[in-house]
Amino acid sequence: GEQAGPKAQKEKGAKLRRMKMPLYAHDEEEDVKLDEEAYDVMNFYKHHGIAQQIARSEIFERITLGVICINAIYIGVDADRNTAA
């Protein structure tokens, strides 16, 4: 294809900067509104007590993901080595 010179690229960039950008992004399935807060289940947690403190902790999140990964590896190894018909 043809390559535009520096002047043409600069004009194209200026044109893009002048365009008004919408407050939403297009996803293949739906429009995603950028001005809305992202969903986070922690928004529904209580604000006091030991259970919510544990559930909000980063260490709990990492341990949970670690257990899920180890379980996935175990399932894969078990499926490969299973001799039952």
pLDDT (tens digit per residue) in 47-67? 999 999 999 999 999 999 999
Rounded Cα distance, 79 and 73, in Å: 10
Give the pair of three-digit tokens for residue 21: 């950008």
38 pLDDT tier (thresholds 50, 70, 90): confident
Q: What is the pTM of this model?
A: 0.51
Q: What's the pLDDT score for residue 85?
A: 67
Residue 62, number of CB atoms within 10 A of its CB: 10
